[in-house]
Chain A
């Protein structure tokens, strides 16, 4: 249950660089009114960033060619189907985790 001063400072440094990008937009938007075109642009961010995060998990950039990560791609199919079918976060998470656990233990 201990830490060192340098470790504490390192954690503080990481805390600062994760805190600033989260907080600055909230302060910025309070003080300047965003142009209409930026607001329209922001409407597309949720779908784009969420799909990008999903696709990133499917890609394997380690080799010479960027390829599909087999395990995650196989797990993607039932997880997506359950998400579409149930529209439930928890059921999707359970099916996703179980599928990956199954793949890792039996294949």
Chain B
């Protein structure tokens, strides 16, 4: 290999494999989702008697779409503090599994960097990261920071803008913005499946069937967010057992 070719290869490895800017670019397709949902949250927040400052603090500190909506709902219903905090915890417990899935790719980085990766992990950045990991078999820290920070700043901006114009939008439901989250999950699922081998795809589709059946049954006994967590754990366990 000539020095030029080596240099080029090295450049490609550092810039395409792990560059902050590539992370920003890979975040762009998800931004429409963040903007719709964040905007919708701002509107709902104002309608739930939250101030702009509170909307800002929630989006910057809690930084979790579904939890923020539930926070607003419980707050306006006058729920006690303990109930709001416990519900928020349960709603976001799925992030534990998501972090656990992504974290093994980053063990070579410092503890502080890892705290940074974890603090800004969302459903969407998880989805984008595992899609990339499925393809490249590795993830870079600068890429992850680019992805995470772009999502984070866009989210805060969208929530605040939604709060600012919230008073002029009486019925946010009509716009269907809340469905952006579900649509994003559907697309991320399809992208993940598109990356797998034929054998693996077969197994994945089988597991998806199990997930549906288990989730359906569990929904009789527990709140939806717990059912999501438990059905995931059970189906993934079935996956390990049947893979042998």
Contacts and interface: CB of A to CB of B under 8 A. Distances in A.
* A and B are partners in one complex rather than unrelated chains: yes
Interface of A: 1-3, 6-8, 10-15, 17-19, 21-30, 34, 37, 39-57, 59, 61, 66, 72, 75-76, 79-80, 83-84, 87-90, 92-105
Contacts, number: 271
Interface string B195-230: 000000000100110011001100110001101100
Contacts of B104: 29, 34, 39, 42
A51 B89 contact: no
B contact patch SS: helix
A3 B51 CA distance: 7
Given A51-B211, A52-B215, A66-B219, A25 B180 contact: no
B89 to A, nearest CB: 4
A75 B183 CA distance: 9
B240 interface: yes
Interface stretch (B1-9, B11-19, B151-159, B186-194): B186-194
Contact of B84 (A10, A29, A66, A98): A10
Contacts of A92: 183-184, 186-187, 190
A contact patch SS: helix
Nearest to A60: B219
Contacts of A87: 187, 190-191, 194
Contacts of B71: 14
16 contacts: A11-B58, A18-B88, A19-B119, A22-B118, A23-B99, A40-B243, A49-B94, A55-B212, A59-B224, A76-B182, A76-B186, A87-B191, A88-B29, A93-B187, A94-B32, A97-B175
Interface in B133-189: 134, 173-180, 182-189
Interface of B: 29-33, 36, 51-54, 57-58, 61-64, 67, 71, 81, 84-86, 88-89, 92-101, 103-104, 106-107, 111, 114-115, 117-119, 121, 123, 126-127, 130, 134, 173-180, 182-194, 204, 207-208, 211-212, 215-216, 219-220, 224-225, 227-228, 231-232, 235-237, 239-240, 243
Contacts of B115: 23, 26-27
A66 B93 CA distance: 23
Contacts of B224: 56, 59, 61
Contact of B57 (A3, A26, A54, A101): A3
Contacts of B191: 83, 87, 89
Contacts of A21: 89, 92-93, 95-96, 99
Contact of B208 (A15, A51, A76, A100): A51
A56 B224 CA distance: 7
B70 to A, nearest CB: 10
Contacts of A105: 174
A56 B227 contact: yes
B188 A89 contact: yes
Contacts of A96: 176, 179-180, 182-183, 186
